[in-house]
Amino acid sequence: MKIILASPRGFCAGVNMAIDTLEKSLGIFGAPVYVYHEIVHNKHVVDRFRTEGAVFVNDLLEVPEGSNLLFSAHGVSPEVRRVAQQRRLKTIDATCPLVTKVHLEAVRYAKQGYNIILVGHAGHDEVIGTMGEAPDSFYLVGTVEEVDALEVPPKAKLAYLTQTTLSVDDANRIINRLKEKFPHIIGPPKEDICYATQNRQEAVAQLSSDANCVLVVGSQNSSNSQRLAELASETGAPAYLIDGPADIELNWFAPDDNVLLTAGASAPETVVQQCVELLKRHFGATVEQRTLREEQVYFALPKELRALTGQ
């Protein structure tokens, strides 16, 4: 067996920043530090922080007044910020800057009188936060069929935005249909899908043809990990989204398979290596690293923490 280890994989700059933010917050303030929603969509990361004193909540009424509260990488709506202020919560904003960019675009379009069509997945934390910037201005679509069924007021000014973790191909299909149906629609000057999502999808698209099987390390509620598994399966190889080695079934493989191994942007490298060790142990697998591009992106800690840490 040969393991083709895709690179880039795993943590992106936004996830690194959010995790560093929570680690430093726990170090500075001590437990508990409350987090609105999961800090990132990964079971291993969330479980580790729970043991260290992070408390993840979906309702700010669960947070005692005056407590330390961290906003997750996926961003929050102005209403959440208002409630946090009302409850005198000491907030630290770990929203990924690429998500913040989409929020700012939403505010700008809404102020200019546009109806905004957001391409994204209903119920995702990022989508809820983005639409919360201008609730009366948004329509949400997740498929070409939903674009076809969409009705907007005649002569409405239209703009589109996208969730940052979508499949690039799916998003482009939907955007192309939007432009066909609404020729006057405008979009952001730079696309919203984040660099890390695109890079990991590109690696899977290019490397899957050399594999008999694809393993994507990531949690089921991770949008970008789900997209990687879908993209891999479209190439024809069996593809499995796994939280870690415990999810691997040995009957997925033949002893001489080429196995492509990658990870979503919120999946820890330690878990990837645990999967490598399992395949080495059972199949004597060798590892070949394939790097398509280098990532040098870094996001600074939130300003609230920089003031406390001197960074």
Q: Can you tell me whether residue 8 is helix, strand or coil?
A: coil
Locate all alpha helices (DSSP H) within 208-258, ordered by sequence: 223-234
Cis peptide before 32 (omega within 30 of 0): yes
Q: Is residue 43 within 8 Å of residue 94, measured between CB atoms?
A: no
Query: Which strands, in side-by-side order, build the sheet including 2-7?
Result: 239-242, 213-217, 258-263, 2-7, 286-291
The answer to whether residues 49 and 39 touch, using CB atoms and an 8 Å cutoff, is yes
Hey, what are 200's tokens? 């990991």
Let me know the angle formed at the C-alpha of 142 by 58 and 216, rounded to the nearest 5 degrees: 70
CA distance 223 to 238: 19
Fill in the DSSP letter of residue 186.
B
For residues 70 and 39, the answer to whether their CB atoms sit within 8 Å is yes
How far apart CA 128 and CA 17 sit, in angstroms, is 21
126 is catalytic: yes
Q: Is 62 helix (H, G, I), strand (E, B) or coil?
A: helix
The two tokens of residue 124 are 């995702």
Catalytic residue among 38, 62, 105, 126: 126
- Active site residue ranges: 126
